[in-house]
Structure 1
Amino acid sequence: MIFIPKTDSLSVQILTGFLLLFPYFLYGQQKVENNKYASQSILTSSPVASSVLVYGNTPVSQYTGTPDINVPIHQVSFKDLSVNISLQYHHANGSKPDVFPGPVGNGFSLNNGGVITRISRGVTQNNFPSGTPIPVDFNPTADADWSSNAKMQNHIKTQTIFTNNNGRYDEYAYNFGGTSGKFYIDQNDGFRIKTAQGEDILVEKEVLVSKSFTIPAETQTPSGCTTTPYSNIITQANFIYKFTLTDSKGVKYTFGGTDPSIEFTRPGMGYGVFDVNNQNTVATSWYLTSILSPNGYKIDLNYIRDKFYITNEISVSDRIIAPNSWADNDNFPKGKVIKSTLFHPCYLDEIITPASKVKFTWSTASSQLGYNFSVNCSSPTDLNSQIYFYAYPQVKDATLSGRFPNKLDKVEVSTTAGTLKKTVEFGYTNSTSTRLKLLTLTTKAGTESMPPYQFGYNTAVPLPAYLSFKTDDWGFYNNKGDLYMSSTDPIYYYNLFNSATERQLYLNSRKPDVNYTQAEILTKITYPTGGYTEYEYENNDYGREAKYWPASILENTGGIQYTGGLRIKRISDYDFANHKATEKKYYYKKDYATGGSSSSGVLSFQPLHYAFFSGTVTAPARYVGTSSQPNFTGTMTYRQYSTDPMNAVTYNKGSHISYSEVTELNLDGSYTVFKFKNFDNGYHDNPAENYVSDNSNVGEFWKEDEMNSLELERGQLLSEGAYNSTNTLVQNSVYNYNDDAGRFNNNVRRIKFIPNPIFSVNYPSLRYTATLIYVYYPYLKTKTVTNYDQGGSIAKATSYTYAANRLMSTQSFLNSKAQTVLVSNKYPHDYPSDPVNLAMANKHIIAPVIETTTSVSGVQVNLVHTNYYAPFTGIYVPQNIQVKNGTNPIETRQNFNQYDNQGNLLEQQKPGDVKETYLWGYQGQYIVAKVLGSDFSTVQSQISQPILDNAATATDANIRTELNKIRTALAGQAMVTTYTYNALVGNSSITDPAGKVIHYEYDIFSRLKSLHNNDASGNVRVSYCYNYAGQAVPCTALAPTGSIAASTLALISEEPPLPVTLTEFNAVKYEQSALLSWKTTMETNSDRFEIERSINGKQWLKLGSVPSQGENNGTQRYSFTDSLPVIGAQSHGENLYRIKMIDSDGTFAYSRIQSLIFGTDSKVSIYPNPITIGENINLLIDDISTVLNIKIYDSTGTLVHQSSPQRKIAANKISAGLYMIQITYMDGSISTHRVVKQ
């Protein structure tokens, strides 16, 4: 029998017989919209999958006070495809004692591809409340009146339960390639993306009617606990086997599609409870398995599945209803309950490209702290805990104790031929008394090792054992949450929560404690160079709290209050021991610039641990009745209590703490104030569409449900004010975003069926809430930058509009003449009648800009149109570029004559100009020859393409011999430049049109070491050294008579080296003339300097000659004036200058190139070109503030880079190939520049 006393103090009478009610609360947690007043154990992704997702979901901004701590490991790349392997530290917001470490140590996540993780939100036909109608499989949101009172009332009267067999109500979180977000199935059964990022993603799925998975076999130790036959096969019906996400460039990312790449999760059971038809086995994660270019090449990611492991959580949670006849059969106190989750994990085994393979090595992470309880089904110790798995056929009599996930031991990078290029090894703690922590990260090559990354933690405050109850309300360590949790008597907890005094003491024990929140947090990273970064944290606090139903803000009357977790306080960078190079401090105050002291923090919810009701209840809208309660009237007493917050962090509120204003203080006293959208400044949630509920007089249960969340907009930067050290505002940027009232119509509809806390089989009290999930694009609408100087100010405003697919349509601003400049873009979907553009749009290749027009005061001044075609099936590339200036006729400026079947450009030319041909090798990855003055057919006929395709397995000498056939055959007819490569590293040699060779030498760690003349044993012309801490690398000796640091367009002289040391070469404009000056420090047998000019970097014109001193050991200065530079026209005003330094015996070398702009068609020059040395593209321009933006397009017309004005652009992530750099100026004009990345 079950005895429920009438007093608030529960005495000795307790349950004498144990009964289990299967239908609803046993396994419904992972399938049904949960009762938010009940302790929950929702099936989640594994620590491995969760750690991957954290990279995209953990906010990295001042808005949450979370620093971006990232450690690069390796970038896997092939052409324009890449996978970045790195570590991300995500515990900078505090350590949670009951969260088990991931595969690279506590607090770190491994970014090594991507994952889609499922959050189940609905009910299936095998999982629904007992005593209610059978679920119906239909879409309740399809009708226009889906949320009307009539429809909602009908749902509650019939107790309609919507099944989720097709995943209609699920939420899928994705993360790959720096892109993250969620997608849903909408009311029209189509996928909808929810992300603040400007990337339109096409989602497709492959569903299998039935699918069986083989998991690793488990050793069986017969226990007699179950007669269930053992099987290592998991069977799933109507199963999503594969997702394909296509980005706006047409690149397809496949998740799943192979058996070992799909992870399964299972809940623990109470003793004696059996699995039915695998219904509790849920696929929670699909890992990235391939990246496929629309041009046909791809990167594959292969996985392995290892044996299962288990994680646990603990709580005290009960729900007591009187009279007992209205309650379920578990209507009694149960005390502490452990809930376990079993994972069938997946681990990345290798990443394969046509040029490389990256191998991951794993081992069981058993040398770490584990759980201090064991599970023995033959003599169960806790019938209330959900810790048993023996009824699962795939577990049965397998050992459950000592189950740990794997840790990553090393990453090996090799060529496809099997040559090992580098190894990255992970070093961890090795103790069963502490959590697994990453200590070192060491890069090795051959027998040598670089100094390691070293990671330091706050070990002065150790974390407690798992399941110790020593946490605050948000799961962070506080070392006192267990003060009232030591009893094993369930009656004790009932009395604890029902005594107002004792309950308050317990609630106080769940507050944060600043002395413990920082336990074992990362505090220092030491780099291989010997420099290091130190991190200082402080506890989160808040000055106000968000309230719901209705949305409002409650100010703290008692001042600043602490809440769970950490925020960054200070980041200090040291270039060597005790020498601070930079430092940033952070202040989370309102009105910092004027001395404000109130916290800018906003708490998104206040935890709830106890609920009580006693009063008259009436029958629910649908009540069948029983013989003892045919009419159901009377008084009910209801109590609910839980150590976990009963209103735990809900799905769409985001972080539990956020900051509306944050100040970043620099070491020199200057600072920047950032202000963000938040609950307290106009971006609280919108009201839900509707709700209906039984027993609203008992409690406003729906107030714990979601409203229409504005999570998409919260955290967007509103303004950024820069102040100097004297507290003077010098620049203020104000940002406005998509505020179209119609944006809320872009949504996914949801009706949530939720049992009320007083629900039981005998008393089915329910509610339904109709809400919207907003999926619009919260794009930047306007940006206004105001600069303050000498009492005045200058403001510049830029406005943007976007198409429905998140691509920028227009950009407008005022130029210096107060004229409105409008830049408009068109994309493939804007040309539905053109078969090529239509085909591109149908393949989701939507990002290429087909046409850009620039208008000034409503008058079009420029048009650039790119025509695409398909030289091979499915390969879409530019055919030509047409330009129209003003009212002039449109004219073709560039033709792209021929491509290969990977979309590599083979031949191009300007109308009426010579042809420029490219040969590709190394499986189509790199340009191996550039020929100016001949067509592709002629050039290709001179060589064997298979030799070039397989160049990675041949010697450089053999490849140069093959390429020299072109040079020999076309001698005197064309200019031939050829290239060879060191696999996975970079150029190994460049041979210029004169046949001079520059050899690139790398050290064992693939770092550029030196440049040689003629052959690998030739004199060193440039040397690089890397002086890491404890590992000084000497520079290679230079030629004894000096060296010339040649540009990538330079010819290096024959031996002996040129006896001239050029230390300086400058070019400046003076009115319409170019003033050139240079300086030497040593001249031996020098004859003269010839000055040359070019408008395209190919053909050079000799302008004049300056005699040298001949013999000199001191500093000599020279100058030359070009009185007639090329202005505008074909060069767009760009003049390139170089000096040819000639010895008396005819030996010569070239200086670096300098550039000047004359006229108005172009104002900038780009160098170096080709890009071979260093990682920057440099813009030479007089005034960078005249530039609006910079865009870089590859040879297919795909945008690969876009940025605000900057003089240096990192090119290390740009693959080899031909690129067009488009620079848009403040006056609306545009200049384009061709560059080659080698």
Structure 2
Amino acid sequence: MKRLLMLLAVCLDFVHVSAQINTSQINTYSIAPPPNAAALARYGEIPVSLYSGIPSIEIPMFTAQSGQLQFPVSLTYHAGGIRVGEVASRAGLGWSLNAGGCITRTIMGLPDEQGNGFNSIKDRGGLKQGYGVTDYADSYLMRLGSGLEDTESDVYYYNYNQRSGKFMYFDSAYRTLPYSKLHIGDLDNFKKYIVDENGFRYEFRDAESSSTSSNVSESFINAPQAWYLSRIFSPDKKDSIILMYEDFSYSVSTRQEQETKKILYDFTTGEYPATVDEKTESSQMISGSLLKSVTGTGFQVKFYYSARTDATDKKIDSIVYLDGKGNRMKKFLLNYSYFSGAEKLRLDSVIEYGSGTQSLPAYKFSYLNPNSVPHLTSLSQDHWGFYNGKQNNTLIPYIVNRLGREEKLADRETDTAYLLNGILNKIDYPTGGYSTFEYQGNDYGWIKNGEAAPVYYEKSMSAGARLRYNTLGVPGAKSDTFQIQQKQEVSISYYITNCNDNVPCTSYNNLPSEGVVALYRIQGTQKILILQYYATELDRSTEGQVFKTLDPGTYSIDVNVVNPYDYLRGMVGYKLFTDSVITRKRLTGGARVAKITSYDGITHSNDVIKRYEYTMADKSYSSGVIMGLPQYHYSYTQLGDDGHSAMCGKRYTYNCYTSFSQMAPGSSQGGVVGYRRVTELLNTKDSTIRTVSYFTSAYNYPDWTIQAPPFPPAISFDWRRGLLTHKLTYGAGNELLLWEKKKYAIMPDFSYSVQNFKVQQRSFCVGSAIVNGKYLETQYNTEYFSHKTDWMPLISDSVITYSRGMRDSLLTVTAYTYDTTSLNPGVVTRTSSQKTITERFRYPLNYRTTATDNISAGIRNLQQLHILAPVIESWTSYSTGTDSGVTAGRFVSFKTDRPYPETVYKLMLNTPVNNFIPSAVAGGAVTKDNRYEPVIVFDLYDNQGNVLQQHKANDMTESFIWAYGNRYPVAAVKGMTYAVADGIVNAGIVSSSYDDTEIRNRLAALRNTAGVLVNTYTFRPLLGMTSATDPSGQTIYYEYDGFGRLSLVRDTKGKILKMISYNYQAPAAQ
């Protein structure tokens, strides 16, 4: 049988590597200005995903830089609620360390790359077509059903560079969902790489695999299930970041993750066998990795770990940031405890140290009801796996027994009294300020595009009948009729006895009572039996309580006495609903933020308070949309010989009830629910702002699902959801300030699909007869389905801005069309006040060139390096209805052998023109309008991409000398070529020097040349500028404290010009 192997080990580390070439803003190279006083950490900047209601909580640490590459390190917290089965990461429950990246996958059947895996499906002749929803088995279906061949795509998930998403194999290439221009491929041994739209390459070489042991079986997937980020390269391969890992194996013990009750039906001979209980308790051994270090040019980051008591995995103790010589720049210490009872790792604080022994005040974290977090093995779970506090003995919600009676086994409903336990509710900042978070449980008003059933006012009611055999010796009956207004679960209790007057109880005539308690549905003059109960005990009473779901209608509870001493009682508990609706909000799993209060540590009059409401305009309606409700039931049939029938002539039908949904309930943007409409209320001492936002959701774009065997996976369209469609902003007095409407469209050129096929055995018999290659007594449920990807960008944005008092308004409409080669805007049109401004853009792949000149060769080089995003040409035009013309234009050429700008051209116009000619390819070369003139020329670069010489049109040449491992510019010389400057100072020696005195002495010779302007600088690598000397020889010196913050500014004689101290507000008394 096919198995769905879910990787239990999640990506602990996520990469955030910023590496962008923004050629649309190319200017002459300039040296960064002198440092300003470091700003104290900003407090309370907590953005919220309004669509999911989940706040984005991040603790920034530092950003390391290696040439063109940046490597930020931070901690993030997922505030969507804590699931019972959630294992704390190496940074604590709910927390993730952002310092790396990974690709994981869900293996569907066989691994894609194995011999009969999905990637070989074309070589196997493609999917065999023509099977019905139910079909007799043949050799092909049996091979699929037994796992010998694979017809389902694995699903891959990536997270790096502040980007995350998923991809799959579509026929001959990997494609992301939604479609993007990421280029994804395989390295040796099925390792992965990703090249982004700017040519930056990410290699995922460190693989992770796992084996699973359970009380049923053991399994080992001889294929990787995760690949960790190992290397990052700039497009020119001159800059790189290397991540090093240590092999580390650990186990993860899971809860009783699967439980099934199998009830046999259609059994005519002998006694029914007992209900089959199947329970699977498993643990997973992961052969994984620990991130130990990250190394770039001039920096290293080291990670230190220690053991923990809640798992055999480790926890992160500290992160140390070092310069190229091994000197410590920063250190972050993470302090932990454990959620009592749950024994799950809890992050309590983060302390920053500088280069010395001093530390800043800590980030401190508080959690709601930390002593009431459930253990991993708790059965107190709602349908979505969140804690509900119910005393369950199983996770199977219900069964229907052989008599058709529904028996409730577990309460899996959401309970907000327990749901929020253990969630982060306060952050104390080093500044003395804090942020507090108040949450609510999620709710919903829609299931896809169907309105959820409302919640009515209700009253508990009961109907009952009781009767004792009378003294006249006459049998009798009694009945009570009641109405069920809407479908509901009712309780039925019964009591039957025929004890005589003796003690102890002795049954009349030494037989159980023959009385009956029965429930009927009344239809006209007919009474249809629903269920009935007889006495089963001798010399004692027979009693019990069951639960049954009843449809609307008229019912009666009846009792009948037959013999002396019979006494019977039957009671039905049900609910009476009024016509008034309480609410159209139904609870579901997970948390959403309701209020965020940010205090600056100085005065509460500065508090920033944000409140959130997740309702439609009619506040009795939740705006939440879920994908569907869980389904816990399926059935199958076994054919065989019961001793009375021919081989395979007897049918055994099993109804199976499980602890897990046969279809995943689905998710939206990382949450259980997506909200169609959200109101945010912002209150500060200066203003009150209310915004109402509307989003696309599963109401508009539901997943494709089939809630029946063989239960194919949902086809998700999550990328179409959570898009802002309308936004209204109100000020004081509910005055409308801004109205905005956005439209999106699916681009058919980027729609792809890949067909899959899933089978599940429906019936089988060992001795099944074969006719024309078909096993007649063995059947399969089958389903063809297709995974899809597409791209749905913004195509228009309309904004109306209102003046105070709404006396005037201004409508601005921006329309977008897109360049299909880069997915960037190709044409942007803005219309306002009867005037239209249009900007047009061209990108590298817009030029089909054979590189017969330098400009086309430079563009061809970009294409070969998968650098798709830079703007080669842009021009702007206007139209008023009576007048039009091109007003500006710019063209950028690139070096032929390296992806660096060479010349920036500007369209030289005195007045708008109507005869502008956009650049094009002719004869393999790029042509452009003859009014373009060069304004900036980058004459010379070194091997690391540093500018060595440049000049503006009709201006003097400027050259640059670099030092500190060729990473920092130490001289800017106007009026001198680089070759002359190199001859004076020997730039090769200066470039490798880290000594400020040596650098200053060598650069001093530049000032002896007449007619040049020389600015010189020194730096502390990774910290900042330490001195700046102007052309007159006056020097300003900059000094830093142990935390890398500017502390002193001195003049050329050492006199203090500025002294800066950093004082933190003491934390408020608790």
Q: Report the Cα offset of residue 123 of structure 1.
A: 3.0
Q: Report the Cα offset of residue 118 of structure 1.
A: 1.2
Q: Contact 2:861–2:899 at 8 Å: present in 1 too?
A: no
Which letter maps to 1:440? S
Q: Contact 2:843–2:868 at 8 Å: present in 1 too?
A: yes
Counterpart position of 1:406? 314
Counterpart position of 2:734? 727
The equivalent position to 1:981 in structure 2, one of 1019, 1024, 1028, is: 1019
Q: Determine if the alignment matches structure 1 residue 603 to structure 2 residue 626.
A: yes
Counterpart position of 2:280? 337
SS in 2 for 1:437: strand
Counterpart position of 1:1003? 1041
Q: Distance in 1 between matches of 2:437 and 2:741?
A: 30
Offset from partner CA, 1:61-86 (integer Å, 9 cap, x none): 11111000011122121232112211
Q: Distance in 2 between matches of 1:600 and 1:458?
A: 26
Q: Determine if the alignment matches structure 1 residue 175 to structure 2 residue 159.
A: yes
The equivalent position to 1:139 in structure 2, one of 121, 124, 140, is: 121
Q: Contact 1:147–1:770 at 8 Å: present in 2 too?
A: no
Counterpart position of 1:373? none
Counterpart position of 1:254? 203
Counterpart position of 1:951? 993
Counterpart position of 2:709? 701
* Structure 1 stretch displaced more, 628-637 or 656-665: 628-637
Q: Contact 2:336–2:348 at 8 Å: present in 1 too?
A: yes
Offset from partner CA, 1:884-921 (integer Å, 9 cap, x none): 43448222222111111122211111233211112222
Counterpart position of 1:283? 224
The equivalent position to 1:565 in structure 2, one of 568, 584, 590, is: 590
Q: Contact 2:858–2:899 at 8 Å: present in 1 too?
A: no
Counterpart position of 1:1119? none
Q: Which has the higher contact order (CA 8 A, sep 6+)?
A: 2
Q: Distance in 2 between matches of 1:819 and 1:115?
A: 48
Q: Report the Cα offset of residue 996 of structure 1.
A: 1.0
SS in 2 for 1:941: helix
Q: Contact 2:134–2:782 at 8 Å: present in 1 too?
A: no
Q: Distance in 1 between matches of 2:151 and 2:315?
A: 32
- Where in structure 2 are there 5+ consecutive unaligned residues? 19-45, 457-583, 769-776, 850-855, 914-929
Q: 1:806 to 1:911 in 2, by over 3 A?
A: closer
Which letter maps to 1:849? V
Q: 1:569 to 1:249 in 2, by over 3 A?
A: same
Q: Determine if the alignment matches structure 1 residue 753 to structure 2 residue 758.
A: yes
Q: Distance in 1 between matches of 2:199 and 2:1003?
A: 34
Q: 1:634 to 1:816 in 2, by over 3 A?
A: same
Offset from partner CA, 1:241-266 (integer Å, 9 cap, x none): x211111111111111xxxx221121
Counterpart position of 2:211? 266
Q: Determine if the alignment matches structure 1 residue 442 to structure 2 residue 332.
A: no
Instruction: Report the TM-score, using the length of structure 1 for normalisation.
Output: 0.65
Counterpart position of 1:1138? none
SS in 2 for 1:829: helix
Q: 1:785 to 1:631 in 2, by over 3 A?
A: farther
Offset from partner CA, 1:647-690 (integer Å, 9 cap, x none): 2335899643111000100114321111100122x3234689xx
Q: Distance in 1 between matches of 2:177 and 2:666?
A: 17
Q: Report the Cα offset of residue 29 of structure 1.
A: 2.2
Q: Contact 1:798–1:813 at 8 Å: present in 2 too?
A: yes
Q: Distance in 2 between matches of 1:758 and 1:1013?
A: 89
Q: Contact 1:305–1:345 at 8 Å: present in 2 too?
A: yes
Q: 1:841 to 1:69 in 2, by over 3 A?
A: same
Richer in strand (by share): 2
Q: Contact 1:810–1:822 at 8 Å: present in 2 too?
A: no
Offset from partner CA, 1:173-225 (integer Å, 9 cap, x none): 111110111111112x21112247xx6211121133xxxxxxxxxxxxxxxxx
Q: 1:436 to 1:927 in 2, by over 3 A?
A: same
Matches within 5 A, 1:658-807: 658-667=674-683, 668-680=687-699, 682-685=700-703, 700-701=708-709, 704-706=711-713, 708-740=715-747, 742=748, 746-756=751-761, 764-789=778-803, 790-807=806-823
| CA RMSD of superposed structures (Å) | 3.7
The equivalent position to 2:1058 in structure 1, one of 1022, 1025, 1031, is: 1022
The equivalent position to 1:911 in structure 2, one of 953, 956, 975, is: 953
Q: Distance in 2 between matches of 1:421 and 1:552?
A: 57
Q: Contact 1:545–1:556 at 8 Å: present in 2 too?
A: no
Q: Distance in 1 between matches of 2:401 and 2:266?
A: 17
Q: 1:135 to 1:779 in 2, by over 3 A?
A: closer
Q: Determine if the alignment matches structure 1 residue 531 to structure 2 residue 512.
A: no
The equivalent position to 1:477 in structure 2, one of 387, 404, 409, is: 387
Q: Determine if the alignment matches structure 1 residue 522 to structure 2 residue 467.
A: no
Q: Which has the larger radius of gyration?
A: 2
Which letter maps to 1:309? S
Which letter maps to 2:695? F
SS in 2 for 1:918: strand
The equivalent position to 2:103 in structure 1, one of 116, 122, 127, is: 116
Q: Report the Cα offset of residue 577 of structure 1.
A: 6.8
Q: 1:856 to 1:137 in 2, by over 3 A?
A: closer
Q: Report the Cα offset of residue 469 of structure 1.
A: 0.5
Offset from partner CA, 1:391-450 (integer Å, 9 cap, x none): xxxxxxxxxxxx511100001111121111221100001688532100110011211111
Counterpart position of 1:29? 3
Q: Report the Cα offset of residue 864 of structure 1.
A: 0.8
The equivalent position to 1:245 in structure 2, one of 187, 194, 200, is: 194
Q: Determine if the alignment matches structure 1 residue 317 to structure 2 residue 276.
A: no
Which letter maps to 1:74? F
SS in 1 for 2:981: helix
Q: Determine if the alignment matches structure 1 residue 293 to structure 2 residue 234.
A: yes
SS in 1 for 2:249: coil
Q: Contact 2:765–2:778 at 8 Å: present in 1 too?
A: yes
Offset from partner CA, 1:253-292 (integer Å, 9 cap, x none): 1111xxxx22112111446x566xxx53441211111111
Q: Report the Cα offset of residue 502 of structure 1.
A: 8.7
Q: Contact 1:677–1:717 at 8 Å: present in 2 too?
A: yes
* Structure 1 stretch displaced more, 428-437 or 153-162: 153-162
Q: Distance in 1 between matches of 2:170 and 2:992?
A: 49
Q: Contact 1:572–1:583 at 8 Å: present in 2 too?
A: yes
The equivalent position to 2:365 in structure 1, one of 449, 455, 458, is: 455
Matches within 5 A, 1:540-559: 540-546=442-448, 552-556=450-454, 558=456, 559=584
Counterpart position of 2:828? 812
Which letter maps to 2:755? R
Counterpart position of 1:1180? none
Q: Report the Cα offset of residue 563 of structure 1.
A: 0.7
Q: Distance in 2 between matches of 1:803 and 1:810?
A: 5
- Where in structure 1 are there 5+ consecutive unaligned residues? 1-23, 31-41, 129-133, 209-239, 369-402, 487-492, 689-698, 1033-1238
Q: 1:512 to 1:937 in 2, by over 3 A?
A: same
Q: 1:124 to 1:81 in 2, by over 3 A?
A: closer
Q: Report the Cα offset of residue 944 of structure 1.
A: 2.9
Q: Contact 1:363–1:406 at 8 Å: present in 2 too?
A: yes
Q: Report the Cα offset of residue 931 of structure 1.
A: 1.1
Q: Report the Cα offset of residue 748 of structure 1.
A: 3.0
Q: Report the Cα offset of residue 95 of structure 1.
A: 1.2
Q: Contact 1:812–1:820 at 8 Å: present in 2 too?
A: no
Q: Report the Cα offset of residue 636 of structure 1.
A: 4.4
Counterpart position of 1:222? none
Counterpart position of 2:53? 65
* Structure 1 stretch displaced more, 816-825 or 530-539: 816-825
Counterpart position of 1:44? 7
Q: Distance in 1 between matches of 2:808 and 2:124?
A: 57
Q: Contact 2:397–2:409 at 8 Å: present in 1 too?
A: no
Offset from partner CA, 1:282-316 (integer Å, 9 cap, x none): 41211111111123111111111123222212142
Offset from partner CA, 1:1101-1138 (integer Å, 9 cap, x none): xxxxxxxxxxxxxxxxxxxxxxxxxxxxxxxxxxxxxx
Counterpart position of 1:1227? none
SS in 2 for 1:942: helix
Q: Report the Cα offset of residue 628 of structure 1.
A: 10
* Structure 1 stretch displaced more, 562-571 or 424-433: 424-433
Q: 1:474 to 1:123 in 2, by over 3 A?
A: same
The equivalent position to 2:186 in structure 1, one of 198, 205, 209, is: 205
SS in 2 for 1:726: helix
